Structure 1
Amino acid sequence: MRIMIANKKMNLMCSMNFLGLLISILLVCASCSFNYTISEEEEKNKILELHQKQREYHFNKMAEEFASQLSSTHISVNRGEINMPSKESNIKRFSSYFNSVEFEKWDDVNPPIVRFSDDYKMAYAIVNKEVIVKYSNENEELIREKTEFSWVAIYRKYDEGWKIDCVASTNKPSVSENMNI
């Protein structure tokens, strides 16, 4: 009889220890997971801030900073071609472009449209820009060129913040005028 009572006490203690352990694990798990809400307005402002910095990078010929907004797996869709340029080739390409022109205008025609995935880990921005540049042609004549660009930039949220994963771009035909006339 004493053995049966001892076994029952032992079983009860084991059950209580197991229950205590289970409650402890649940409390630890509950404290580790947090119910964190994402503000769409805050995330949209972060995307728009990056968009605004792009204007500064164009006017101030900041190719490295511009390229730093692109992810390491960035894809470019432009002029019927799909490319996955490296950061170094992006810096070289942007530097060449920025140094070959003077930006007169790089302004939104309409405010960018920004949308998010349900989990706020991806976003896209639809942009419409009027761009006016001046440059010297092969005859050293000063040319003023005006066009309108539209693109979709797909952003992904990384640990260090939003980066552009893909850009698909198009533009209207340019209108050029020789300023030496």
Structure 2
Amino acid sequence: MKIPLLLACLALLGCATTAAPRTASPEDRTALLLINQTQRDAHLQRDAQRMVSTMAEDFLSVQDGRISRPTREQVLGNFQRYFASVRFQAWDDLSEPIVTLSEDGTLAWMVVHKRVELVEVSTGEAETTVFAWMATFEKRQGQWLQTAVVSTRAPAS
């Protein structure tokens, strides 16, 4: 009598367990690097909509001594104005982005080092800047979205 009860308990326990937790995959790293490429293309093509498509609705920015949570419309407007005022000559990685994924494959961060060359439309003045930033990402409904960025910049030497 004890064995059938034990088997029933084991069967119920087996039904109650969930699937094995998801783990990060090489495809996740590739998808994150593709976001970096998409953002590069968006800059060079001055495509604000494409740039914003890589970001979460609840995006957080840390820059110039300020923390902000701009709305998607604000981010889009900021990029539209910025892209209208400049022409990019380069938006290139100085080193391979450093991508780190959580073990469960739902969170990631990327450290990026870029050299950006642009020309101001109104003045024709050229500017070269080196940026370094860390961006965070979440995988939501199967899609990686940038949730935050902490950015620094310095004039190129």
Structure 1 and Structure 2 fold alike (TM over 0.5): yes
1:115 and 2:100 are equivalent in the alignment? yes
Deviations 1:125-162 (A, max 9, x none): 0000000001234xxx4111111111000111111411
Compare relative contact order (CA 8 Å, sep 6+) and give the higher one, 1 or 2: 2
Q: How many residues align?
A: 157
Distance 1:45 1:16 in 2: 50
Moved more, 19-28 or 161-170: 19-28
| 1:150 alignment counterpart | 132
Q: Which residue of 124, 139, 159 maps to 2:109?
A: 124
Instruction: Select the structure that is richer in helix.
Output: 1
SS of the equivalent of 2:36 reads: helix
Identity across aligned pairs (percent)?
29
Distance 1:116 1:61 in 2: 29
| 1:35 alignment counterpart | 20
> Residue type matched to 1:43 in 2?
D
Change (3 A) 1:20 1:117: closer
Distance 1:68 1:95 in 2: 13
| 1:9 alignment counterpart | none
> Residue type matched to 2:40 in 1?
R
TM-score normalized by structure 1? 0.76
Deviations 1:81-109 (A, max 9, x none): 11100000000000111111111100000
| 2:86 alignment counterpart | 101
- 5 Å matches for 1:1-181? 22=9, 24-29=11-16, 33-35=18-20, 38-137=23-122, 141-173=123-155
**Which has the higher Rg, Structure 1 or Structure 2?**
1
Distance 1:59 1:93 in 2: 16
Distance 1:124 1:106 in 2: 20
> Residue type matched to 1:168 in 2?
V
Root-mean-square deviation over aligned CA pairs? 2.2
> Residue type matched to 2:54 in 1?
Q
Change (3 A) 1:20 1:143: same
Task: Indicate if the aligned counterparts of 2:24 and 2:102 stay in contact, CA closer than 8 A.
Answer: no
